[in-house]
Amino acid sequence: MKILITGANGLLGQHLTKLLLSKNYQVVATSRGESRLPFEPSGNYTYHSMDVADGFQTAAVMSLEKPDVVVHAAAMTQVDECELRPQQCERINVQGTSQILTDAETFSSHFIYISTDFVFDGEKGNYAEEDDPRPISLYGFSKLQAESMVQTCEIPFAIVRTCLVYGNLLKGTRSNIVSWVKESLEAGKTIQVVSDQLRTPTYVEDLAKGIALIIEKKATGIFHISGKDWLTPYDIAIRTANKFNLDASRIVKVDASTFTQPGRRPLKTGFVIEKARKELGYEPMSFDEGLALM
């Protein structure tokens, strides 16, 4: 089976590529620019530079590779950047999804779209798949628009919503909450971390395993794939400092009103993952177990 991954240079893309190659799938990794993946071209692995919003590029790659499954992980994910550059947000998150979805309908038999907890407003928290999305940021709205397009496609699809992904990149540098806290404290910086937001942080290898289960089972529908611990960013920062023997006194507890940010963040998200447990056999590790693996 041949699987094409968009956004393969990112944290999830790197780990998903590694996992699928270990399972002897053929993997076509795509991302903008040069490859940042630590794999050499082989009979089972190919990399293409591809902008998902460029119809000529996507059609060329998709018609050449004809993947059985497409995992669409490419996105503009920085909440504030989406607010400040709305046209670019719409181009990548909405037009890009439309383009790759159109090609997948021609060449593929299963489409898996990676979405986010930010499709919810954060009033309730602990969301299940059937809860009504109400995004409060342009980022969340663009991801919900893309979800809506996927739900009308002509091939079997799965939508994977996830939450606050953390872990180590295999190659390259881009921070997530854990690596930011660790690097900041190692540099002797004092950091402010909010204590009034709640999430179920997701270890990247768990997310990759959840997607692999969807591929293996040819599962369809919406799945919430996240960790199982409901934590605030402040909780995450304190646990990170303690795990890596860093100075937790440099972590200042604040609330969201401390920061003036262009994009609103939902206060309480986090997921109920019972559907993924029951239908996929998905079981995530604890946050502390994920930290230990980092």
Alpha carbon separation from 130 to 46, 143, 201, 274 (Å, rounded): 37, 17, 20, 12
Topology of domain 2-167+201-228+270-285 in CATH is: Rossmann fold (3.40.50)
For residues 266, 264, 194, 210, the Cα torsion angle rounded to the nearest 10 degrees is: 50
Tell me how far apart the alpha carbons of residues 146 and 148 are, in angstroms, rounded to a whole number: 5
pLDDT for residue 175:
84
- What letter would DSSP give residue 103? H
pLDDT for residue 172:
82
pLDDT for residue 193:
97
Residues of the chain with pLDDT under 70: 173
pLDDT for residue 39:
95
Q: Determine which helix (DSSP H) or strand (DSSP E) holds 243, and give its type and residue range.
A: helix 233-243
pLDDT for residue 174:
78
What are the residue boundaries of the structural domains of the chain, listed by start? 2-167+201-228+270-285
pTM, two decimal places: 0.97
